Amino acid sequence: MSCPLYAAQLVAILLRIRVQVLRLTFNPAVLSEIESQISPVLLQRARAVAAEHKQLAAANATEYDVSIAKKIGELSPVAQALKEWEDAQNSLVELQGLLDDPSSDAEIRSLAQSDIESTVAELPALTSRLKKSLVPAHPFANLPCMIEIHPGAGGSEASLFAHTLLEMYQGFCARMKWPTQLASYTADDSVSDKALTEALLEINQPGSYEMLRSEAGVHRVQRVPATEKKGRTHTSAVSVLVLPVLPETGGESDLDYEDPNSDYYIAPPDVRSETMRARGAGGQHVNKTDSAIRLTHIPTGIVVSMQDSRSQHKNREKAWQLLRAKIAQLRREQRDAEITAMRRSVMGGVARSGREDKVRTYNYSQNRVTDHRSGSETSNLDAVLAGEEPLEAIMQSVREWLSENEVKGLLAEEELKDKAKQNEKENQKENGKK
């Protein structure tokens, strides 16, 4: 990770902080500005969580309960982050007091001054950690994942690029030392070169979902195709889906496939299972080697099919796994959409990152890769396509962008709640007057 780019960025950040700090030390009024970097609403929420954490911890000290212990585990990052943040704030106030105190001598003043500088330098990191700790972890964060690749608009050019993307992710996973398996692959027969119409890459690494979920969306390629005679640049699109691999039995985790209220529940009558080409004479009359299975989830219209294994049984298992993942993902997306819609009423435009949205452009003629969400850009196209560090850097920037967005959303949500509460109070008051 000791890439020069990083070092340069780090230096730039440090310099900026330094400048801020210099300005700050001469203007105590800015201090409160720093403090207000975290909104009072979020702070309030963090304090509430910390209070709950404290209470639960006390309760668990007397009587141990596994579910409570688990809850404590979930809350403790917030409590920890809040504590560190508050400590820093308190020491700042104290130090400022020392500075302001006319009885302090020069030596103490200079010590306090340097302490203030170091604390202030720490503060942004503490603040952002506190904010991020408030964002709940993605429910699929710890799961392995599957990447599904489909060429979109752009004909054979898109299917060629789809194959390039598949190789990019394979390269990335190889570099991360993650075991992968190409669970399904359909070549595009109309193209003589390597091209695909559909591919499913399984990544059997817990937590890979969290790393790769930034990749979901439409990837756009701009280049002059090999077949193009007049040298015009074409734009084609490939859609990438990132699906969680749900554990086979819901037993150990919170996932319960049997509970009809669970997000992961699929009612068996809702799924139509077909063995393909089941028509005509069957049984002993023919000897089919075709073991393809197609599952259709009737309420959502999701169709998955598997044919790569000789075993019908294995194809069916794979198909069910994929169907389950797709439905879970869909339900999750629906929830996200609800939340986004709610937030939008407060925040105005929220940048979307759904499956139909353009997320990244690979421009061959300019040798450039741009991510449209984080705005990060690199001119090392080859390294990105090989799945090397520049790709990881882009993914990192998207993850940061995502979590910042989450924080913003959270803030909006809290404000909304706050408003609702106040409205209620006012209503009550009015009612009381009447």
Partner 1 sequence: MPRLPPALIREAALQNHLLPLLLRACRDLPSARNEFRWLQEHARDTVHAKTRKRHKALPEDALIHLKSPRHGEEKSQCPQRKDSSVKSKADRLEKTSVAVDANSRRSLFRRRVFVHRGHRNSVVSHTSGRGLRDAFQEQYTARSHAQSLLAKFIARRARGVPLQYILGNQPFGNLEILTRKGVLIPRSDTETYSQHVAKLLLSWLHTATFASHTRLPGRRKLRILDLCSGTGCIALLLHSVLKPPNLDSNIDLEILGADISMDANLLSRRNLQHNIAEGLLHPDAAQDVSFQQMDILRLARSNRSKTRRLFNHGSPSAHQDAALDDTWDVIVSNPPYISPKDYRPGGQTNSSVRKYEPKLALVPPVSGSSGDANPAVDPGDLFYGPLIDLMSSVGAKLLVMEVGDSQQAGRVHEIAMEKFKNRDDDVRFERWKDDGTERLLSTSRASHQGLTDGLAAEGTQAASATTDSHASDRAVVVWARELAEWRMSVRWDGRV
Q: CA nearest 228: which of 156, 167, 159? A: 156
Q: Which is nearer to partner 1, 102 or 269 (CB)?
A: 269
In the complex, what is the shortest distance from the CB of residue 313 to partner 1, in angstroms, rounded to a whole number? 5
* Sign for the pseudo-dihedral over CA of 416, 419, 420, 421: positive
Question: What is the C-alpha to C-alpha distance for residues 283 and 50, in angstroms, rounded to an integer?
Answer: 66
Q: How far is CA 381 from CA 193, 222, 228, 240, 287, in A?
A: 21, 12, 21, 18, 50
Q: Which is nearer to partner 1, 67 or 289 (CB)?
A: 289
Collect all residues with Cβ–Cβ distance below 8 Å to 188 and sequence separation of at least 6: 151, 156, 159, 160, 195, 196, 197
Q: Which is nearer to partner 1, 181 or 427 (CB)?
A: 181
Helix axes 4-26, 106-134, angle to 10 degrees: 120
In the complex, what is the shortest distance from the CB of residue 249 to partner 1, in angstroms, rounded to a whole number? 12
Burial 392-401 (b: 16+ CB within 10 A, else e): bbbbebbeeb
In the complex, what is the shortest distance from the CB of residue 306 to partner 1, in angstroms, rounded to a whole number? 11
Q: Which is nearer to partner 1, 189 or 430 (CB)?
A: 189
Spatial strand order of the sheet with 377-378 comes to 180-187, 196-203, 145-151, 234-244, 217-223, 358-363, 368-371, 377-378
Q: CA nearest 214: which of 238, 237, 236, 241? A: 241
Q: How many CB atoms lie within 10 A of CB 278?
A: 10
Q: How far is CA 214 from CA 15, 368, 371, 373, in A?
A: 30, 19, 10, 10
DSSP 213: G
In the complex, what is the shortest distance from the CB of residue 382 to partner 1, in angstroms, rounded to a whole number? 12
Q: Which is nearer to partner 1, 139 or 206 (CB)?
A: 206
Q: Which is nearer to partner 1, 185 or 364 (CB)?
A: 185
Q: CA nearest 316: which of 274, 263, 259, 266? A: 274
Q: Which is nearer to partner 1, 51 or 298 (CB)?
A: 298
Q: Which is nearer to partner 1, 4 or 280 (CB)?
A: 280
In the complex, what is the shortest distance from the CB of residue 288 to partner 1, in angstroms, rounded to a whole number? 6
In the complex, what is the shortest distance from the CB of residue 32 to partner 1, in angstroms, rounded to a whole number? 51
Name the helix (H) or strand (E) containing 127.
helix 106-134
In the complex, what is the shortest distance from the CB of residue 289 to partner 1, in angstroms, rounded to a whole number? 5
DSSP 221: E
Q: Which is nearer to partner 1, 66 or 286 (CB)?
A: 286
Q: Which is nearer to partner 1, 95 or 168 (CB)?
A: 168
Residues that bind partner 1 (CB under 8 A): 167, 170-171, 173-175, 177-183, 185, 187, 189, 191-195, 201, 269-270, 272-275, 278-279, 281-291, 298, 307-314, 386-387
Name the helix (H) or strand (E) containing 151.
strand 145-151
In the complex, what is the shortest distance from the CB of residue 295 to partner 1, in angstroms, rounded to a whole number? 11
Q: Which is nearer to partner 1, 106 or 281 (CB)?
A: 281
Altogether, the residues listed in the chain come to a count of 434
Task: Please name every residue paired with 289 in a beta bridge, in sequence order, or none if there are none.
Answer: none
Tokens of 63: 């009587």
In the complex, what is the shortest distance from the CB of residue 307 to partner 1, in angstroms, rounded to a whole number? 6
In the complex, what is the shortest distance from the CB of residue 207 to partner 1, in angstroms, rounded to a whole number? 14
Tokens of 70: 């688990």
In the complex, what is the shortest distance from the CB of residue 377 to partner 1, in angstroms, rounded to a whole number? 25
Q: CA nearest 147: which of 247, 194, 215? A: 215
